[in-house]
Amino acid sequence: PAPPPPPEPVAAPSSAGASADGEYYTVLRASKARAKASASSTVIGELEPNTVLKKLAADGGFIKVVFGLEKEAWVLTKNKRGMEFVEVASDQSAAGAQFPKDQAALVDKQKAEKAAEEAAEAEAGAGGGGGGGASAAA
């Protein structure tokens, strides 16, 4: 009798072809994170080169990604001149390992920016500060 056929190799997840939601992307050049999938939408943050992003959805030339405290943002993948801003990460497992670290750094940056804004608003609203606490001593 003929020997049994060799076992089928288990297919590894492939990043080839159409990109799937949940796939990791790498930022190629400084990019703007926007509230909506539109170049005229409000900028809610900046992305540094080499930041790993996790794709949630796509709309036209934008991908929706996880974005720290804001939870979600839209990032342009390529401009009208063909300049790419993000690309599918070539090593999905390495990108998956880096993603939480990049998100933690992004959250820290967003918290620092928010604290600085709140401090500036408090200083502006206090009219120079000082005083205030003396009446509580009575």
Q: CB under 8 Å to 137, separation ≥6 — which residues?
A: none
Task: Report, in angstroms and rounded to the nearest whole number, the Rg of the chain calculated over CA atoms.
Answer: 23
Q: Where is 106: in which H helix or E strand?
A: helix 92-125
Q: Establish if 128 belongs to a structural domain.
A: no
Domain that holds residue 105: 24-123
* Number of structural domains the chain divides into: 1
Lowest mean pLDDT, pick from 4-13, 73-82, 84-93, 124-133:
4-13
Does residue 5 surpass a pLDDT of 90?
no
Q: Establish if 116 belongs to a structural domain.
A: yes
CATH number of the domain at 100, please: 2.30.30.40
Mean pLDDT (the chain, rounded): 82
pLDDT digits (tens, 9 = 90+) for 28-72: 999 999 999 999 999 999 999 999 999 999 998 999 999 987 789
The whole-model pTM stands at 0.68
Alpha-carbon span 106 to 108, nearest angstrom: 5
- Positive or negative: CA dihedral 5, 6, 8, 11: negative
- pLDDT for the residue numbered 138: 47
